[in-house]
Structure 1
Amino acid sequence: MRWRENGRNRSKSFTSKADAQRFEGDVRRSRELGRPLDIDRGKELLSEFVETWWRRHVVPNLAKNTRDSYGPTWEKHIRRRLGGYRLRDITPGIVDQFKADLITAGAGPSVVHKALVILSGMFTCAVKWDHVERNPVDAIKVPTPKRARYVRPLPPATVEALRGQLLVQGRLLDATLVSVLAYAGLRPEEARALQ
């Protein structure tokens, strides 16, 4: 198959006539739509694309704690299994096998969840930046990690009794903190970050 693209003569060989005709249809369709036919699209390895994704999306958009948790998950679970694949070669079947491999290796639901969320985020950006046509993780059911323990909030009467004791002792800030924790639902680490 021979065609002209960006002022250059291009060619591509096929082993079957049907494949060549299908590709010729793609060339015609891209011309009609006015978009370039990029046969090198998605050729980069996932391990190469992660650097672009990290620089263009993760650093400017995600909190430091999220970035700090993404790095080890990428290194330990994703890079070894999928880093050597070209972006365009990662299919829903490969992602489903990746998920099964993580579970077989003993990864818990939260690890599987995080790995698939990271992978999906990468492919969402790859689609947005025209590296690939679709996100293969969209077809996979991402497990929701179960809460390790059930949170049992204190009844309001108990909260008010605690607050009352603190107010009697003149500890106004402590009483306020108890109210914020009990009624706003903040976790202790979130409350410590308040100013």
Structure 2
Amino acid sequence: MYDVNVKYKSGGKSKTYSRKGFLTKKDALQHEAEMKAKLTNPAYTPPSAVQRKMTVQEYMTEWIDRHGSANLRPSTEASYRSHMKNHIFPYIGDVFLNQLSPAMLDDMYRQLAEKGLSQSSVKYAHRIMGVSLEHARRYHYISSNPARDILTKFGKQSKTPDPYTVDQMRQLLAVVMGTEWELIVVLGGLYGLRLSEIIGLRWRNVDLAENTFGVVEQLPFNTPANTTVISEMAPVKSSERTLPITPLVRPYFERHLELQKEQKRFAKQSGNLYFDNDLVFAKPNGSPKRRERISANFGQLLRHAEMPHIRFHDLRHTAATNMHQLTGDFYTVGQILGHSLKGIGIQLQLSNNLEAVTAQYVDVRMERKLYVLNIYHEAVLGSSEKT
């Protein structure tokens, strides 16, 4: 048998609430938590029987369904769901919500770190727990937020990795030459495309006759992992743009096109289904690639090549930095990257006089983009192409 004794103050006097005879420790702890909240907060409303039996996974799934689409960007919601599925539910998903303790969270964070998850990813999981549990506290599902009382100490975040230099980009492209990675790295590191824009690029938007391609759509962030057919694309995050295919980059497009044709022929000969989504980057059966898998595999690629660690998104910063350092043409670089006029104006310290930016820079010709890209691509690819 278990007893509950709760000390509290009322009217300036110390009092004790007692109740005896609980058959299980679980029932005693649950009653103790409810009475502590009730006796220290007159506005407290006890959770319903359904809420008392709700697991962490049930609550967080309901929470992200209700809170996510209304309050989070699609990319953030997708990231939350991925972390919950892979890094939270396997450890505490079956725990009853009102029994979750700071010690359980500390133990989960320790296991994630021992598993090899980066500190930033462990801290991100804690951030998700903190927000979702705070909402549970406000709804009176729990009396306190256990994420506030953890003992785990997260060190200072390491600084953002430096973008790759021209020499490092040359080294990286030598590593991926002749593999399925080469065009992905070219578009990320030599054009500055976002990963969502790369895996959403379709052949209908690539014009090899005119040596241009359009960045006009991206793969939706909420695409399920087992999706085979894409019915609708999402708009790009920034401005739609048309970019030139430089002479040094054209062979990468041609090789990748031949690789995909070969995959289609193999699928047909072997009697396997091929899902033709018209995607430039697809799995061997034509279905869309997963951005999470590409990001993870990119990290492994760099480790095997013994190159400094950067995220795939840092290739975008690499392209921006190198193009600007080589040409000094901040505005054209911004247009290549799809930056907004306002953002470019701020970068040019003309944010209070955007009319001047408009008059001076808006008419950026394809020739100017080609000029800037040619200089950068020649610096990275020129020597390797000539040898």
TM-score range, shorter chain: 0.5 to 0.7
Percent identity of the aligned residues? 18
Determine which structure has the larger helix proportion and give its number.
1
| Structure 1 residue 38: Cα displacement | 4.2
Matched, 1:180 2:344: yes
Question: Structure 2: how far apart are the matches of 1:64 and 1:147?
Answer: 26
- Choose which of 114, 118, 124 in structure 2 pairs with 1:114: 124
Give 1:174's aligned amino acid: T
Q: Deviations over 1:36-88 (max 9, x none)?
A: 44474543100110122012211210000001111221111111101001111
1:15 corresponding residue in structure 2: 2
| Structure 1 residue 127: Cα displacement | 1.0
Secondary structure of the structure 2 residue equivalent to 1:150: coil
2:84 and 2:125 in contact (8 A); partners too = yes
Go from structure 1 to structure 2 and tell me whether the alpha carbon gap of 1:125 and 1:34 turns closer, same or farther (over 3 Å shift): closer
Question: Structure 2: how far apart are the matches of 1:175 and 1:79?
Answer: 43
Matched, 1:75 2:62: no
Q: Deviations over 1:118-152 (max 9, x none)?
A: 11111011112111111111123445542351369
1:191 corresponding residue in structure 2: none
Give RMSD over aligned pairs.
Answer: 4.0
Unmatched 5+ stretches in structure 1: 1-13, 167-172, 185-195
Give 2:158's aligned amino acid: K
Secondary structure of the structure 2 residue equivalent to 1:21: strand
1:192 corresponding residue in structure 2: none
Go from structure 1 to structure 2 and tell me whether the alpha carbon gap of 1:36 and 1:63 turns closer, same or farther (over 3 Å shift): closer
2:328 corresponding residue in structure 1: 162
Question: Structure 1: how far apart are the matches of 2:328 and 2:69?
Answer: 42
2:5 and 2:18 in contact (8 A); partners too = yes
Give 1:180's aligned amino acid: I
Question: Structure 1: how far apart are the matches of 2:94 and 2:345?
Answer: 46
Give 1:162's aligned amino acid: G
Go from structure 1 to structure 2 and tell me whether the alpha carbon gap of 1:38 and 1:78 turns closer, same or farther (over 3 Å shift): closer
TM-score by length of 1: 0.64
Matched, 1:103 2:113: yes
Secondary structure of the structure 1 residue equivalent to 2:143: coil
| Structure 1 residue 183: Cα displacement | 2.2
- Choose which of 142, 147, 150 in structure 1 pairs with 2:159: 147
Q: How does 1:52-91 map to 2 (within 5 A)?
A: 52-91=62-101
Secondary structure of the structure 2 residue equivalent to 1:16: strand
Rg comparison, structure with higher value: 2
Q: Deviations over 1:134-172 (max 9, x none)?
A: 1111123445542351369999xx77x623xx9xxxxxx
- The number of residues matched between the two structures is 160
2:100 and 2:146 in contact (8 A); partners too = yes
Secondary structure of the structure 2 residue equivalent to 1:133: coil
